[in-house]
């Protein structure tokens, strides 16, 4: 339960940060996607909702599947971040690429909560 709560807190925090640091998340968005602000706000709301749902036993399994879908959906933004290090002058370009496999680890972590 402690690890599930930690995982949920990661997403709840990230979701809130979509509103607190909107500019950061807007810079992550690939140019080919429309409505950047709407997508950033929507993904923030979804992250918070799924994080909260993960804490509720009755909705935890559904939340885990939702988090997997969300992590897959936002992966292009993470790739875009790595491809445009000039937008991230305070971050090490190697770190921008190194964080890509973390998505896979997060997907695996979410998957561990999909069993009934």
HEC profile for the chain?
Answer: CHHHHHHHHHHHHHHHHHHHCHHHHHHHCCCCCCCHHHHHHHHHHHHHHHHHHHHCHHHHHHHHHHHHHHHHHHHHHHHHHHHCHHHCCCCCHHHHHHCHHHHHHHHHHHHCCCCC
Domain count, the chain: 1
33 CB-side CA count, 13 A: 17
Q: Is residue 41 part of a domain?
A: yes
Closest C-alpha to 48, from 25, 22, 78, 18: 18
Q: Is residue 63 part of a domain?
A: yes
9-34 per-position pLDDT tens digit: 999 999 999 999 999 999 999 999 99
Q: Is residue 62 part of a domain?
A: yes
Give the domain range for residue 90: 2-28+35-111
Q: Is residue 116 part of a domain?
A: no
Residue 11 contacts residue 67 (beta carbons within 8 Å): yes
Residue 116 above 70 pLDDT? Answer: no
55-97 per-position pLDDT tens digit: 999 999 999 999 999 999 999 999 999 999 999 888 898 999 9
Q: Is residue 12 part of a domain?
A: yes
Q: Is residue 53 part of a domain?
A: yes
The chain-wide mean pLDDT, for the chain, equals 95
Residue 29 contacts residue 75 (beta carbons within 8 Å): no
Q: Is residue 100 part of a domain?
A: yes
Q: Is residue 85 part of a domain?
A: yes
The CA distance from 105 to 78, in Å, is 14
């Amino acid at each position: 339960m402690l690890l599930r709560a930690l995982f949920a807190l990661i997403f709840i925090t990230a979701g809130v940060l979509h509103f607190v640091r909107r500019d950061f998340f807007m810079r992550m968005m690939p140019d080919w996607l429309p409505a950047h602000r709407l997508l950033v706000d929507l993904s923030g709301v979804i992250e918070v909702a799924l994080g909260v749902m993960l804490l509720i036993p009755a909705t935890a399994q559904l939340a885990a599947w939702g988090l997997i879908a969300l992590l897959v959906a936002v992966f292009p933004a993470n790739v875009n971040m790595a491809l445009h290090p000039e937008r991230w002058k305070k971050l090490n370009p190697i770190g921008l690429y190194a964080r890509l496999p973390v998505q896979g680890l997060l997907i695996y972590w979410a998957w561990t909560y999909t069993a009934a």
